[in-house]
Structure 1
Amino acid sequence: MSNREETVAQWQAQDKAVRAKLAAPGVASLEQLKQYSGVEFLQAILRGELPIPPIAQTLDFNLIEAEFGRVVFQGTPAMQHYNPIGSVHGGYFCTLLDSALGCAVQSALAKGSGYTTLELKVNLIRALTDKTGPVRAIGKVIQVGGRVGVAEANIVDAEGKIYAHATTTCLVFPLP
Structure 2
Amino acid sequence: MSTLSREDKLASWLAAEQAVRAGLAEPGTTSLAAVAEMTPMDFFDRIGRGELPCPPFGVLLDFVPLEWASGRFVFQGTPDARHYNPLGSVHGGYAATLLDSCMGCAIHTQLKAGQGYTTTDLRVSYIRALRHDSGPVRAEGRVVHVGRSTAVAEGRLYDVDDRLYAVGSTTCLILDMRG
Alignment of 1:100-119 (within 5 A): 100-119=102-121
Alignment of 1:19-168 (within 5 A): 19-168=21-170
TM-score by length of 2: 0.95
TM-score by length of 1: 0.96
Matched AA of 1:125: I
Whole-Å separation in 1 of the counterparts to 2:5 and 2:159: 12
Residue pair 1:39, 1:109 contacting (<8 A) in 2 also: no
Matched AA of 1:45: I
Whole-Å separation in 2 of the counterparts to 1:40 and 1:108: 12
Once superposed, which parts of structure 1, at least 4 consecutive aligned residues long, lie more than 3 Å away? none
Whole-Å separation in 2 of the counterparts to 1:77 and 1:25: 20
| Stretch deviating more after TM superposition (63-72 or 28-37) | 28-37
Contiguous gaps of at least 5 residues in structure 2: none
Secondary structure of the structure 2 residue equivalent to 1:150: strand
Deviation for aligned residue 1:30: 1.5
Whole-Å separation in 2 of the counterparts to 1:43 and 1:145: 24
Secondary structure of the structure 2 residue equivalent to 1:31: helix
Whole-Å separation in 1 of the counterparts to 2:30 and 2:74: 20
Deviation for aligned residue 1:152: 0.5
Matched AA of 1:116: T
